[in-house]
Structure 1
């Protein structure tokens, strides 16, 4: 699923990030997406159906996909993080249902409940990362003089 988002201050944020190397931009983005993604993961853990608790405990934020997931994934952005259960089959079988078993969605309701909070958090975290990087660069420059 592709999600496109626009928000106030996006151009300013993009301009501020453009002053850094690609590596630094990725690092700032990774921290922001991980921290914001945890909001969805926490909500999903609350919605996840519990038998043994393994499904709930497997919900996490990650930058990697399993081999099977990678084969079906098309990269949409420079920076991507994934939120959800590990590769155990219970994840998608519970979310979408299966023959004779009704769906018990937990990821979609978590996203629907938290998406505005998550998007706000991403912006806030990106600005924090930019400010930290600028301060660190200023410190390095001062030491070099």
Structure 2
């Protein structure tokens, strides 16, 4: 699932980010988005998985992604990983369940009832995320400006 957020009236944020170097502004957004998505990851109750917030996808996942990659775009993904950090390709079977499964011989081998863990966490936190993102972006912009000021002062004297 991909959700795009448009923040109306955030021209000040855009101007502040545009005044920074692209790498700095992307770092600001990445850190702010991670802090914003943390409650979703914390609320996702998946006992057999850990929930990760990452910008990296496996080759298989990249093929399934919607093409939301670009030089100026920041995309973070919230999802299950195995305890060792590897991908969890079977997590969707638990989240969404399966229908009745049968072998070619006709033998019934069961069905998995849906046990959603990520969608309820997303729904619970979605309303608050935009406010949190705005607050976190400003905090990160202020920190970056402060770091740049200190660095410039150090280089000057």
Asked if TM exceeds 0.5, the reply is yes
Counterpart CA distance in 1 for 2:12 and 2:68 is: 22
Counterpart CA distance in 1 for 2:15 and 2:147 is: 19
Residues 96 and 105 in structure 1, CA contact (< 8 A), matched pair in contact too: yes
Counterpart CA distance in 1 for 2:18 and 2:146 is: 16
Please give the root-mean-square deviation of Cα atoms over the aligned residues, in Å: 1.8
- More helix per residue: 1
What stretches of structure 1 move > 4 A for 4+ residues in a row?
Answer: none
- Give 3-state SS (helix, strand or coil) of 1:59's partner: strand
Counterpart CA distance in 2 for 1:88 and 1:134 is: 39
Match among 110, 116, 122 for residue 121 of structure 2: 110
Larger Cα-atom Rg: 2
- More strand per residue: 2
Match among 66, 80, 83 for residue 85 of structure 1: 80
Counterpart CA distance in 1 for 2:60 and 2:142 is: 38
- Give 3-state SS (helix, strand or coil) of 1:23's partner: helix
1:23-48 CA-partner distances (Å, limit 9, x unpaired): 00111111111111111001113xx3
> Please, what TM-score do these two structures have when normalized by structure 1?
0.84
Counterpart CA distance in 2 for 1:12 and 1:81 is: 23
Structure-2 residue corresponding to 1:30? 30
> Please, what TM-score do these two structures have when normalized by structure 2?
0.78
Aligned residues: 137
More moved, 25-34 vs 75-84: 75-84
- Give 3-state SS (helix, strand or coil) of 2:98's partner: coil
Structure-2 residue corresponding to 1:54? 48
- Give 3-state SS (helix, strand or coil) of 1:64's partner: coil
Q: What displacement does 1:96 show?
A: 1.1
> Can you give the 5+ residue segments of structure 1 that lack an aligned partner in the other structure?
none
